Structure 1
Amino acid sequence: MNYKLLGRSGLKVSELCLGTMGFGTEAGWGADKETSFAIMDTFANAGGNFLDTANVYKLGTSEKIIGEYLQNHDRNYFVVATKYSLKDNTTNPNASGNSRKNMMRSVEESLKRLQTDFIDVLYLHIWDDLTPMDEVLRGLDDLIRQGKVNYAAISDTPAWQVAKGNTMAELMGWSQLIALQVEYSLIQRTPERELIPMAKHFGMTVTPWAPLGGGVLSGKYLRGEQGRIKPESKRLDDRSVAITKVVVDIAEELGVSASHVALQWTRSQGFSSIPIVGATKVSQVEENLKVIDVTLTPEQQQKLDEVSKIDLGFPGEFFKEEGVKMNSFGGFYDRVEKR
């Protein structure tokens, strides 16, 4: 695998990130410890070093499995990203949310489960719409200064809040957010409206979760196979089916799997993107790793763009209208005056 810098940092991470949400067998599904170890071995042997987990994945079992694995492997080889925010116990009213109190408690417990002295990348998991952004950023910066966290990142948060945060961090001399984790795939392109342009502006790497749309883009549902997605899910609506059919057609042209086509599309969008590929079987990670050798032709890329395109809404669509020349202030204002 090749390595990429994560956002505006010097941190080198593999071009694919291994998602470990399925490490553990709670809730009746997932990989046991032995299988999880084998998955990480396979990923590392291929050059992968970027692991994604969270304090709540499998009730903390995901972090525990990674922690046990790291005891017998080179800790400094791996870049471990985890998250805080979501409720991981019911002992007190501050066991969830973005507050400094929950951040500090959650990080200390993650460090114990991971059996490590530091977390490479700490994500705010989801915006709570309660905690002031300056409280979040000061807490993250303090953890970095203490050496318990190396880099700060953010997930599932409105673009305007992230932009406010990075601007504030730059002004105050605090550590800036270097990565943005959001759902992004051929069937979920709405981050292109605000989130991805914002990430590009701040030099943040996007780490798409569910880049295969929960398995839909693998084509397995078209083949009648069963999965964890309910039939009424929007991921299985007419639009998603139409997109998946094009993905499957292109996969047949290239002689690769549909998953490879869908994953490669997320890696070819003109911004820094490292998709998170989950696995609960060794065969799944082996298959996903093959995407690094896949190349889409411009024609194939255009087909995928067309079948999956979305309405960017205002002001995105307005900027695209004929006659609106954002690179010509005079022409733009003439147009506005005539309206």
Structure 2
Amino acid sequence: MTNALDSYRLLGRSGLRVSPMSLGTMTFGTDWGWGSDKEESRRIFDAYLERGGNFIDTASMYTNGTSERFIGEFAEGRRERLVIATKYTMNRRADDPNAGGNHRKSMVQSVEASLRNLNTDYLDLLYLHAWDFTTPVEEIMRAMDDLVRAGKVLYVAISDAPAWQVARMQTIADLRGWSPLIALQIEYSLVERTVERDLIPMAAELGLGVIPWSPLASGVLTGKYTRADLDHSADASPEGSRKNVAAANGSLHERALDIADVVKDVAAEIGVAPAQVALAWTLTNPAVTAPIIGARTLGQLESNLGALDVTFTDAQLETLNKASEVDLGFPHEFLQRPMTRGVVFGSTTLARG
């Protein structure tokens, strides 16, 4: 297999075909102080498409809307072959109480703005970007279904929300005949594996393809940071530098650097870049459809795509898993204990298909 971006996968329990790596475009635009200019963004976009890639990820206010506008321009003449995913929720006017959040007004206005920015008549995939803890789930699912019925959105999905709320939403959609969620975008990497407790098993059970964001833990797993970088102040803003983002996202800490050291060792053993090892590891989880790769340069993109060629020995995979393992907590640990299984199954041996 050679960088097989054109070995497409089905997204969740749908018939939509997407590449096994999604092009993240939060780096498109210099508005936040660390992204790519227009010329470099276009080179990245074109190279991804030339390799067979079709799955583009953005959001309503990435780089203050510049990301969507660049995509709209770059996609001209080839829009139909692309699967463009964007998100709503981010506040678009700080002094307007209804300019952000999960509610219908925010959703509709954000979608209309995204359609203008992207210069398109429809969105292939619309994510709820982050849970706001205030909007009723029925309002969200009905509004999403209305947008699908209006032809402005083809598929709907969710990002960064509690597992029990996502499961509730999917159940309501099923019972009422509304458009189901087909994807779950979550942080997932060797540094952040707590999603294996509930979010990933839920997604596999309910038909949502998992789309990991920050599979490189904000760059920590590339090996670019050292213990000297731990002396930072976590600015709660995406602006300034990539180090600010890593710190604010909670990815730059001692344990993450310990994991990054193991990743570097495995990468040296295989003869590839640490980033390729970290990305390839996410693809070993069968629930994962496509990790999101963000690149500020064409060289970074090409290196990241090399992850599709990486294979692990059982020993290497065990090393990575052991270095990054997390306690699954209750009830998961409890339900796997011999005593618990003994009182449930007795002496029965059960083969699971």
**1:269-288 residue CA offsets vs partner (Å, 9 max, x unmatched):** 23233100001111111111
Query: Which whole-Å CA distance do the structure 1 matches of 2:156 and 2:188 have between them?
Result: 21
Tell me by how many angstroms 1:49 deviates: 0.5
Tell me by how many angstroms 1:28 deviates: 1.8
Tell me by how many angstroms 1:225 deviates: 8.8
**1:25-75 residue CA offsets vs partner (Å, 9 max, x unmatched):** 11222111111111010100111110000001011110000011112x311
Aligned length: 330
Amino acid at match of 1:20: T
Larger CA deviation: 154-163 vs 280-289:
280-289
**1:307-327 residue CA offsets vs partner (Å, 9 max, x unmatched):** 10111111111122232228x
Larger CA deviation: 204-213 vs 88-97:
88-97
1:284 counterpart = 2:288? no
Equivalent position of 1:12 in the other structure: 17
Match of 1:170 among 152, 169, 174: 174
1:229 counterpart = 2:243? yes
Equivalent position of 2:195 in the other structure: 191
User: Secondary structure of 2:183's partner?
Assistant: strand
Question: Please, what TM-score do these two structures have when normalized by structure 2?
Answer: 0.89
Where does structure 1 lack aligned partners over 5 or more consecutive residues?
333-339
Query: Which whole-Å CA distance do the structure 2 matches of 1:278 and 1:54 have between them?
Result: 13
1:259 counterpart = 2:264? no
Larger CA deviation: 297-306 vs 233-242:
233-242
Equivalent position of 1:315 in the other structure: 331
Where does structure 2 lack aligned partners over 5 or more consecutive residues?
231-240, 348-353
Query: Which whole-Å CA distance do the structure 1 matches of 2:229 and 2:298 have between them?
Result: 20
User: Secondary structure of 2:64's partner?
Assistant: helix
8 Å contact from structure 1 (residues 121, 151) kept in 2: yes
Cα RMSD after superposing both structures: 1.9
Amino acid at match of 1:312: L
Equivalent position of 2:237 in the other structure: none
Amino acid at match of 1:137: M
Tell me by how many angstroms 1:22 deviates: 1.1
8 Å contact from structure 2 (residues 23, 293) kept in 1: yes
Match of 1:123 among 124, 127, 130: 127
Larger CA deviation: 22-31 vs 57-66:
22-31
Equivalent position of 1:25 in the other structure: 30
Tell me by how many angstroms 1:14 deviates: 0.4
Query: Which whole-Å CA distance do the structure 1 matches of 2:310 and 2:70 have between them?
Result: 31
The percentage of counterpart residues that share the same residue type is: 51
Tell me by how many angstroms 1:296 deviates: 1.1
Tell me by how many angstroms 1:239 deviates: 1.6
Equivalent position of 1:53 in the other structure: 58
Query: Which whole-Å CA distance do the structure 2 matches of 1:108 and 1:125 have between them?
Result: 16
8 Å contact from structure 1 (residues 94, 102) kept in 2: yes
Matches within 5 A, 1:143-182: 143-182=147-186
Query: Which whole-Å CA distance do the structure 2 matches of 1:319 and 1:239 have between them?
Result: 28
Question: Please, what TM-score do these two structures have when normalized by structure 1?
Answer: 0.93
8 Å contact from structure 1 (residues 204, 272) kept in 2: no
C-alpha distance 209-232 of structure 1, shift in aligned 2 (>3 A): closer
Query: Which whole-Å CA distance do the structure 2 matches of 1:100 and 1:183 have between them?
Result: 25
8 Å contact from structure 1 (residues 19, 278) kept in 2: yes
User: Secondary structure of 2:85's partner?
Assistant: strand
Larger CA deviation: 242-251 vs 162-171:
242-251
8 Å contact from structure 2 (residues 227, 254) kept in 1: no
8 Å contact from structure 2 (residues 227, 257) kept in 1: no
Query: Which whole-Å CA distance do the structure 2 matches of 1:313 and 1:96 have between them?
Result: 34
Amino acid at match of 1:310: V
8 Å contact from structure 2 (residues 138, 172) kept in 1: yes
User: Secondary structure of 1:208's partner?
Assistant: strand
Equivalent position of 1:296 in the other structure: 312
